[in-house]
Amino acid sequence: MQLTTGFWSFKSFAAAVELELFTQLSLQGPSTLQEVASVLELEERPTDLLLAACASLGLLEKTGDRYRNATVAEEFLVVGRPYYFGGFVRYCDQREYPAWHRVVEALRTNKPTTWDPKVQDSPFAAEDPVMMALFWEAMHSISTFTARSLGDAHDFAESRRILDVGGGSGAFTIELCRRHPHLTATVFDLPHVCGIAKGKITEAGLGDTVDTTSGNFLSDDPLPDGYDVILLSMILHDWDEETNRQILDKCYAALPPGGALIVCELELNPERTGPPAAALMGMNMLIETTGGKNYSQTEYETWLVDAGFEHPSHIPLEAAGANGALIAVKA
């Protein structure tokens, strides 16, 4: 039953985010059913059902006849909060959920269902600006949580300059530089993505610490140099093994001796039987990419050593976007 009805929870949750229920409760304070119905412009029956569902999921609390946000909802589901997660919820609801309806088609054709490879070069192209805005907002929220975990788990004391390859909206560099003020960083990504990153960097007040450089890590060779750390966060699961090996070779060439590469991913176990977060993200890569999949720690270590890096060390993480990071040093 849990497997079969899992979408009930998700769609109730996504509806509450879309209606900005948690934002309104944060603004209004503890509210009755009638007050919530009024502010959401809904009738009482559907409001009652939605409130009950969200309370059952641990997103709302009720005292007497008044509902208020649970702590997790107040921190992560109120628009404008630093770690707002609603962008990822809306992205999954509006782009990925419809595409998952065609997952059997994706399995039979080995082609993505969120975009058409005959029309676009990649899922990261700018052809659909509305969806791209949703995508990068989603990635910003999930990357921020993951960067926070990496920043706590890894010692950046000896690091100085980070190149975030495929850095997207800049979430990783913003969070890492906030937590480690001695760091400076550059987001390296497609031109239209760098435009999004610049806005996020300015918003964070880090314009003197984080900058952007436009490029394409698939076609550009060499990558920008002058950095003692290169970060690949949630990048390699988007591509096939051959492409990933090429990316790692470019990273090795761009680093100075003693420079470090950090690979941050949801890793499968060596047997490729779990954990579920990594295995199911792999299924999501089927509907999102032409060659991506989630790989094991063992596979990443093999590729890093083959690229010339020495004895990669592994750091376990508990984060939305990664369960581990591999740190590899250039001899």
Catalytic residue positions, numbered? 237
Query: Are residues 287 and 111 in contact, defined by beta-carbon separation less than 8 angstroms?
Result: no
Strands of the sheet with 161-165, listed across from one edge: 210-214, 184-189, 161-165, 229-233, 260-265, 324-330, 309-316
Strands of the sheet with 31-32, listed across from one edge: 31-32, 66-69, 60-63
65-71 long-range contacts (CB < 8 A, ≥24 apart) are 65/32, 65/33, 66/30, 66/31, 66/32, 67/25, 67/30, 67/31, 67/32, 67/33, 67/36, 68/25, 68/29, 68/30, 68/31, 69/22, 69/25, 69/26
Using alpha carbons, select from 92, 57, 89 the residue that is nearest to residue 76: 89
Using alpha carbons, select from 145, 150, 175 the residue that is nearest to residue 260: 150
Query: Are residues 261 and 232 in contact, defined by beta-carbon separation less than 8 angstroms?
Result: yes
CA distance linking residue 71 with residue 79, whole number of Å: 15
